[in-house]
Amino acid sequence: MRQAASRKTMASSGGTQPHASSPQSASLARRLGLFDATMLVMGGTIGAGIFINPYVVALRVHTPALVLGAWVAGGVIALIGGFIWAELADRMPHVGGQYAYLREVYHPLLAFLYGWVLLLVIQTGGMAAVTVTFSRYFLELTGIHAADWQIALLTLGVLTAVNCLGVRAGGTVQSALMVMKIAAIALLVGAGGFLIHDSHAAWRPVFDQPPSLGLASSFGAAMVPVLFAYGGWQTACFVAGELKHPRRDLPRALILGVAGVAILYTLVNYVCVRALGVDALAATHTPASAVMRSAMGELGGTIIAFGIAISIVGFLSQSVLTAPRVYFAMAEDGVFFRQLAWVHPRTHVPVLAITLQSIWTMVILLSGSYEKILNYVTSMDWIFFGLTASCLFVLRRENPASNFRMPGHPWTTAFFCFCCAAVVGNTIYRFPGNTLIGIAILATGVPVYYIWKRIS
């Protein structure tokens, strides 16, 4: 079996080289360290959602204990996922991360389908949506008279240019933006915790209804926006080929980054519940702004709006930096445009892959279809989450030895896979039409894969 043979070769060589070490792959520059990788993990997770999503959770469960419990539970699930990806990264520190894991363990077709939907809808649709959101905050803060799409295109263009200058330049910008994000969240937590003296959090009763299937269903519904807010940490694995010490630093970065995000998310939700109370939290669509205005007046609202804008552009910067490495890996495998495997001789980055993603993001943005796209990518994203986690069962069976081991496997890994299946099942139940569209997009990749294999 080609995949098993490839894994044995990788293990015997120490697993430090990307798959199919071509000249292009070898020319990727290993310039990122542990701090950069940790910032990529956190930057790929923290966007605008944590400043907004707390109200969605409060709409679905109605006591402080349940609201915070949902965010803590989401953090635990994300941390389990981080541990799973950490072992996968230790075993296969390849360019492309999740794409490489699916390729090596299952089949190149499955990996291609992941990259296919990542480029067409998952990554680019999300990037288009957050770019427009950033543009609106930017225009509100600056008072500049311009259309939001103009600011969005300019922002994408700048971030694309920065990341084409080299992974060190892109990583430095990303790390700086992530530090600013943490500062904004720290300010929100500090203002809500120390400047608002009256607490609106009543810790009794714990449940808003007697323990029952209805309570479990409500808590499950609250977990959906929580799990979405925690998504994105896995994208740091895409740049494994550009880490100085991927087998050492990437597993550590995944654990440190996900744990850091879980702490920040829990603190933000604690101050939202404390400052506003659950009922008021459920009644506002801008909880972070409401907390800051209560603590510091209109100045607080302006400061947090700036913080949200920085958080969004930081998330966008991480997306521009990481995902093109998947398309680069696909091109190296001969299942996508060969030109995307080209690496600039001076900057050592896949310039064409970065540019393609940004151009397609701009097309989606200008078409105005990004909101529809976001409605039907959820099931696909979590299908591949579950499939990737299941790779660990195969790898452990073939070779139990690993420098980093997932605690509690196979039970913890099975639990994570179950959570992925639950999210997919809930999405199919609630949005069957959107799910069918997503499956149709996924299915178009099958003939495309075989056509590319034939002509390559």
The CATH number of whichever domain residue 222 belongs to comes to 1.20.1740.10
- Banded pLDDT at 414 (limits 50, 70, 90): very high
Residue 344 covered by a domain? yes
64 and 258 Cβ atoms separated by less than 8 Å: no
Q: Ranked by mean pLDDT, which of 13-22, 210-219, 329-338 comes out on top?
A: 329-338
Instruction: Assign 381 a pLDDT band (cuts: 50, 70, 90).
Output: confident
Residue 17 — very low, low, confident or very high, per pLDDT cuts 50/70/90?
very low
Contact 385, 56 (CB under 8 A): no
- Residue 423's pLDDT is 83
DSSP symbol at 240: G
Closest CA to 99 of 254, 331, 344, 432: 331
| Greater model confidence, 313 or 18 | 313
Query: How far apart are alpha carbons 57 and 75 in whole angstroms?
Result: 14
Residue 189 domain flag: yes
Which pLDDT score is estimated for 424? 86
What is the rounded radius of gyration, in angstroms, for the C-alpha atoms of the chain?
22
State percent of the chain over pLDDT 90.
50
Cis peptide before 410 (omega within 30 of 0): yes
Q: Does residue 448 belong to any structural domain of this protein?
A: yes
The pLDDT assigned to 375 comes to: 67
Please indicate, yes or no, if residue 338 is contained in any of the structural domains.
yes
**Could you tell me if residue 265 is inside a domain?**
yes
Can you give the residue range of the structural domain that contains 67? 26-455
Q: Which tokens go with 155?
A: 């922002």
For residue 165, what are the contacts with CB-CB under 8 A and spacing of at least 6? 347, 349
Predicted local confidence at residue 186, as pLDDT: 93
Give yes or no for residue 347 having a pLDDT over 90: no
Round to whole Å and give the CA distance between 393 and 105.
Answer: 10
Q: Please report, rounded to a whole number, the percentage of residues in the chain having pLDDT higher than 70.
A: 93
Q: What is the average pLDDT score of the chain? A: 86
Q: What is the pLDDT of residues 226-265, one digit of tens each?
A: 888 898 889 889 888 888 999 899 999 999 999 999 999 9
Distance CA 456, CA 443 (A): 21
pLDDT for the residue 23: 37
Residue 167 has pLDDT above 70, yes or no: yes
Token pair listed for 253 = 């970065």
User: What span, in angstroms and rounded, lies between the C-alpha atoms of 104 and 95?
Assistant: 12
**Residue 14 belongs to a domain:** no
| Mean predicted confidence (pLDDT) in 316-322 | 91
Distance in angstroms (rounded) separating the CA atoms of residues 133 and 84: 32
| Six token digits for residue 296 | 């510091």
Task: Quote the pLDDT of residue 241.
Answer: 85
Q: Where do we find the tokens 């958080």?
A: 311
- For residues 339-369, b (16+ Cβ closer than 10 Å) or e, as one string? ebbbbeeebbbbbbbbbbbbebbbebbeeee
Query: What are the tokens at 282?
Result: 């459920």
pLDDT tier for residue 25 given thresholds of 50, 70 and 90? very low
The model's pTM = 0.88
Alpha helices per DSSP H over 351-377? 351-367, 370-376
Tokens 């992974």 correspond to what residue? 167
Q: How many domains does the chain have?
A: 1
Give residue-wise pLDDT tens across range 191-214: 988 888 877 776 777 777 777 787
Coil, strand or helix at 32: strand
Tokens of 105: 């363990």
How many whole angstroms separate alpha carbon 324 and alpha carbon 404? Answer: 27
The whole-number pLDDT of residue 319 equals 92
In a domain, 19, yes or no: no
Please report how the helices 432-455 and 378-398 are oriented relative to each other, as an axis angle in degrees rounded to 10: 60
- For residue 179, pLDDT beyond 80: yes
pLDDT at 388 over 70: yes
Using 50, 70 and 90 to split pLDDT, how confident is the model at 8? very low
Let me know if residue 163 belongs to a domain.
Answer: yes
Q: What does the alpha-carbon distance between residue 393 and residue 389 come to, in Å, rounded to a whole number?
A: 8
